[in-house]
Every structure is written in C-alpha cells, then in structure tokens.
C-alpha cells in the first residue's frame, strides 16, 4: 500500500515520508512538487480553496521572507491525518503580518494539521504565533 492507495489509510511511515517531502519542497521552493501533493479542491482552515491558492500562498511567504524555513519539531500521523509542530524561521524583506521589515529575523511556532486522501492534501489547518513574530520585529 502507498500513500496513493485510496482503498485504505496510508501507514504512519508513508504519511511521515509524504509530509517530509512536502516540507522539503516548501523549503526548496519546489512549487511543482507542492502542487502535486495538494488536491484540486482543498479546505484550508475550514475555507474551500483551489490547489493554486495554496501554492500562491506559499509563493507569497517566499516572496516576503526569501529565507523562510519550516523545521519539523514534532510529527504525529494516524489514519489519514498528520499533525505537526513546526519552528518557522526567516528574515522578512517586505511587510509581514502588517509590519514593515526591520532587518530582524523571526522564529515562531506553527501548529498544522492535515488530512490526506489519494496521496494529496484535502484538508489543511494551521495556526502561527503571529504575536511573537511582531514582537521579534521590534514592534509592540
């Protein structure tokens, strides 16, 4: 069975490999690979989106913070679900979270959860510590 087999849930190892492939693609700005891992229709934080929306959002992060890097701190998989705690780092060069860049780097925590079907994300949720990022940029 592979993560692409819709008849049964992928194994924990298959989901781990799938997620590591996704994060590596994001960190390498490999948007073609990311596109191949996201369903045509995907729910993001309970809002319906198209695959292109997800890719555009990731391109936007890379544009604002060219060295933005996702570091997997914890990864839990079960059934068709993935949960991750990430440490996100980078130095914004454009406005981010409503704040102008200050030259300061940010390091924030992100929690994310996903559902995978037929080898693609069909549901994605994320929560980032924006208040910490704003504080690190030297704003209150």
Cα within 13 Å of Cα(138), Cβ side:
8
Q: Confirm whether 19 is domain-assigned.
A: yes
pLDDT above 80 for 67:
yes
Q: Which candidate, 17, 22, 11, places its Cα nearest to that of 79?
A: 11
- Reported as a single tens digit per residue, the pLDDT across 17-63 is 999 999 999 999 999 999 999 999 999 999 999 999 999 999 999 99
pLDDT above 90 for 139:
no
Q: Confirm whether 86 is domain-assigned.
A: yes
Q: Confirm whether 39 is domain-assigned.
A: yes
Cα within 13 Å of Cα(78), Cβ side:
3
Is residue 133 within 8 Å of residue 127, measured between CB atoms?
Answer: no
The CATH number for 129's domain is: 3.10.450.50
Q: pLDDT band at 7, cuts 50/70/90?
A: low
Measure the CA dihedral 68/123/35/95, to 10°: -30
Q: Confirm whether 2 is domain-assigned.
A: no
Least confident of 10-14, 61-65, 69-73: 10-14
Domain range spanning residue 87? 12-136
Q: Confirm whether 114 is domain-assigned.
A: yes
d(CA 60, CA 51): 14
Q: Confirm whether 24 is domain-assigned.
A: yes
| Number of domains present in the structure of the chain | 1
Q: Confirm whether 38 is domain-assigned.
A: yes
pTM score: 0.90
Residues 90-108: what's their mean pLDDT? 93
What is the reported pLDDT for 1?
34
Q: Confirm whether 84 is domain-assigned.
A: yes
The average confidence (pLDDT) of the chain is 93
Q: pLDDT band at 9, cuts 50/70/90?
A: confident
What is the reported pLDDT for 2?
45
């Amino acid at each position: 069975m592979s993560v692409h087999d819709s008849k049964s849930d992928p194994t924990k190892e298959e989901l781990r490999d799938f997620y590591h492939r996704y994060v590596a693609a994001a960190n390498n700005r490999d948007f073609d690979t990311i596109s191949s891992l996201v369903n045509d229709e995907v729910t993001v934080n309970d809002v319906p989106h198209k695959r292109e929306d997800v890719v555009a959002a990731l391109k936007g992060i890379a544009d604002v913070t060219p060295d933005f890097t996702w570091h997997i701190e914890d990864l839990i998989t079960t059934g068709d679900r993935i949960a991750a705690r990430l440490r996100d780092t980078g130095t914004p060069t454009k406005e981010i979270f409503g704040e102008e860049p200050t030259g300061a780097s940010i390091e924030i925590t992100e929690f994310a959860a996903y559902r995978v079907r037929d080898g693609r994300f069909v549901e994605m949720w994320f929560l980032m510590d924006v208040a910490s990022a704003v504080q690190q940029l030297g704003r209150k």
